[in-house]
Amino acid sequence: METRPDILLADFEGDDWGGWTVEGTAFGSGPARGALFGQVGVTGYLGGGYASSFHGGDPALGRLISPPFTVQRRYLSFLIGGGRRTYYGNNDQGYVAVNLVHDGHVVRTAPRSQWAPDGADHLAWDWFDLADLAGTQVRVEIVDQHTGPWGHILVDQIAQTDALPVPLPSFAERRFRAEHRFLNLPIGLRSPYRELQIAGGGRTVASNTVCLTRGAPDFWVPVDLSAWKGMDLTLRVEELADAAAPQAADLLTAVRIGDRMVGCDDLYREPGRPLLHYTPRRGASSDANGLVWFAGEWHLHYQHVPCNVAPGNENCNWGWGHAVSRDLVTWEELPDTLWPDERGVAVSGSCVVDHHNSSGLGSDGRPPMVVFYTAYGGSNRLSHGRSVDVCIVYSTDRGRTWRPHDGNPVIRNVDRGNRDAKVFWYAPGRHWVMVLYIHNDVHFILTSTDLLHWQFRSQVPGMHECPELFELPVLEEPGTSKWVFFGGTCDYYLGTFDGMRFVPETDVIRFKYTDGSLYAAQTFNDAPDGRRILVAKGQVSGQNPMLNSLITFPIELTLRRTAEGLRLHQNPVAELESLRAGTMSVPDGTMVSDDAPLSVRPAGRLLDIEIELTPAGAGALTLEIFGKQIRLDLEAMELRFHEAQENNDVRAPLVPVGGRLDLRLLVDTIFLEIFGARGRYYTPVRCAFPQAADTVHLRTTGGPVRVARMRIHELRSIWQRPAEPSPQA
């Protein structure tokens, strides 16, 4: 396309703000010229003036609003400096930003991340991609709502342009046909980050920033090429300006292509690897997403950074990993469903099966699986300056390959948050429902008849991101049910839902009692027999440097009436019993006291422990599992667990059921899940069990406790064999 002349919107060379609207005091009566009082110096602006919110120092607040203008070029470029406190939503306070506003909503914002300022007020180039806004009217807001240190923003030279204001990096390339299954990447944890891209079919299909090395790698990462089988692909590696960094061409030759994984012969047997909980072969993982049951398989998606272990928000790497199970216990890892691309990184969403092909995306009588995900524009280099949208990919081969929808995005940016779409079929209304997080704990409810076109219906206040909405029958009360509205913290409301509007009938109810080890739960759509199965992200201790989190063991939710009212109960799915390798039993009625403790030495370290206790005068009981102590305060009726690595104290209620205290504990290598009062109270905690400890020990203070029942079930690993038995390239 021919490059057209730039359209200058503001260079702030005048004595006043011209046609711009000024709010507050932070921007003064006109543009700044040089450093203001309290600033050491300002660099990077052009000409003599620039917009500064430092009039009055960091505590001052204000806003500059441009006149409306029509989008006539591909990009909006500008110089920006000052603080880096990112904007999150319309009602967000305490931020500095350049915002682009369209139809009353913020659809672009800068800065894009929360990296700390470097101690100097320097303006650098940034830009918004305006391709989807061509011909529309927009305006620019320069906002200072931050009163703390670096609570100011500096802006200059705002222009519409067809040319990017900074040059893009150069790449070395290696072309190949995807005839083999794996692209094996050598990772060196001390190597510099650089961008890696895979291109095919005329577009970039995958990107990540990775620490490639040409020497002995710390580990290898296998990238499964099955989704691109038979395609002509181009592997691109970024050239770095640092002369000491290895040449990209040398790194390309270190990448191995073959039908086996390299350096992965110890998979699922490494120290610190969870053996009861799902983790991907390699890389960082996070929120559970896209959960659905279809054709005899449980499909688990999750946030995944396959190429390194740094969290994806540090290196703009999040995509979607994918695994399937036939028994909810053992899992087969499939190729990643989503990678970062030109639309941004792929973050939270959900998956449905369009059984009646209402979308028209199915073929040959095969209903499509449809994934809704958040394309987080502006999060990586390829998507810089783009908006945050809801997009879909779909599959007609049981989730083995996925195709982007030609009409993406299905929901253009509503506001800055605009993410985490939870979609499900509402049978009474014969329509689809989407719950979409917008910003500041506000969610929209939308409906559709074809999954492609959506209509706003209502909004739900409260809760933070990662929404979940489902109906549950009340146990032992035929004909009675309630709808459950979840948030990212896993707390919930109970209420009613008519297909378009959720009405809460309770205050927020606490779901878990933990130290932050659990977040972003989601349930499986279409689970057979009306079951409601939930998993979440579980944070783990850093015993294994290649793992940062796991997927919690699947739990089944039921709704039961208690003295407090209706409450969710959660227990491990019954399929757990298939892992049992043996059971040790303590004789019913055994008394444990100060001078008569109880010790059991299981043969294995993966355990499912069931205990029922009757207090008989003791003030407290300590349950020690492989060196980790769980204290039951029988006077305060409280469970306490001190997690030393994070220095957190976890507390949960102890409530008798039928005169007994019951606990169930799932013990993994670096994670512990505790269920109390028949599942009323749930305590998942990260903890690395010392290898030297090998006993389960009970002792009391102040009197005895009667062990009414105690069973210790030894469990097999969910990883019965490595993913590839002969991992050679």
State whether 134 and 199 are in the same domain.
Answer: no
Summarised one tens digit per residue, pLDDT across range 417-472 is 789 999 999 999 999 999 999 877 889 999 999 999 999 999 998 888 999 999 99
State whether 16 and 154 are in the same domain.
Answer: yes
State whether 309 and 189 are in the same domain.
Answer: no
State whether 147 and 18 are in the same domain.
Answer: yes
Q: For 599-625, what is the mean pLDDT?
A: 95
State whether 29 and 138 are in the same domain.
Answer: yes
Check pLDDT > 90 for residue 530: yes
Q: Give residue 727's pLDDT.
A: 33
Check pLDDT > 80 for residue 113: no
Q: Give residue 645's pLDDT.
A: 66
Is 525 inside a domain boundary?
yes
The token duo for 301 is 């998606």
State whether 241 and 294 are in the same domain.
Answer: no
Give CA–CA dist 399/281, Å, rounded: 19
Is 273 inside a domain boundary?
no
What pTM does this model have? 0.91
Residue whose structure tokens are 């199970």? 325
H helix or E strand, kind and range, residue 345:
strand 345-353
Is 726 inside a domain boundary?
no
Residues of the domain holding 523: 284-471+511-554
Check pLDDT > 60 for residue 116: no
Count how many residues are written for the chain. Answer: 729
Is 493 inside a domain boundary?
no
State whether 599 and 687 are in the same domain.
Answer: yes
State whether 290 and 383 are in the same domain.
Answer: yes
Q: Give residue 118's pLDDT.
A: 58
Q: Are 75 and 159 in contact (CB under 8 A)?
A: no
Is 484 inside a domain boundary?
no
Q: Give residue 416's pLDDT.
A: 65
Check pLDDT > 70 for residue 324: yes
- Residue with the bigger pLDDT between 147 and 237: it is 237
Strand 580-586 with 705-715, pairing: antiparallel
Q: Are 88 and 95 in contact (CB under 8 A)?
A: yes
Residue 647 confidence class, pLDDT cut points 50, 70, 90: low
Summarised one tens digit per residue, pLDDT across range 501-514 is 999 999 999 999 98
End-to-end CA distance of the chain, in Å? Answer: 44
State whether 525 and 397 are in the same domain.
Answer: yes
Q: How far is CA 58 from CA 11, 112, 116, 144, 402, in A?
A: 23, 20, 15, 9, 49
**Residue 544 belongs to domain with CATH number:** 2.115.10.20
Cα-trace Rg, the chain: 28
Summarised one tens digit per residue, pLDDT across range 271-313 is 889 999 999 998 889 999 999 999 999 999 999 988 876 665 5
Give CA–CA dist 653/637, Å, rounded: 6
Instruction: Using CA atoms of 651, 657, 660, 661 in order, give the dihedral in degrees to the nearest 10.
Output: -20
Supply the mean pLDDT for the chain.
91
State whether 318 and 462 are in the same domain.
Answer: yes
Check pLDDT > 60 for residue 487: yes
Is 123 inside a domain boundary?
yes
Summarised one tens digit per residue, pLDDT across range 19-47 is 999 999 999 999 999 999 988 889 999 99
Strand 121-122 with 42-43, pairing: parallel
State whether 410 and 357 are in the same domain.
Answer: yes
Is 567 inside a domain boundary?
no
Instruction: Using CA atoms of 717, 720, 723, 726 in order, give the dihedral in degrees to the nearest 10.
Output: 130
Give CA–CA dist 299/523, Å, rounded: 11
Give CA–CA dist 160/72, Å, rounded: 7
Is 84 inside a domain boundary?
yes
How many domains would you assign to the chain?
Answer: 4
Of 161, 182, 202, the last residue of a domain is 161
Q: For 226-249, what is the mean pLDDT?
A: 92
The token duo for 397 is 């081969």
State whether 348 and 204 are in the same domain.
Answer: no
Residue 649 confidence class, pLDDT cut points 50, 70, 90: confident
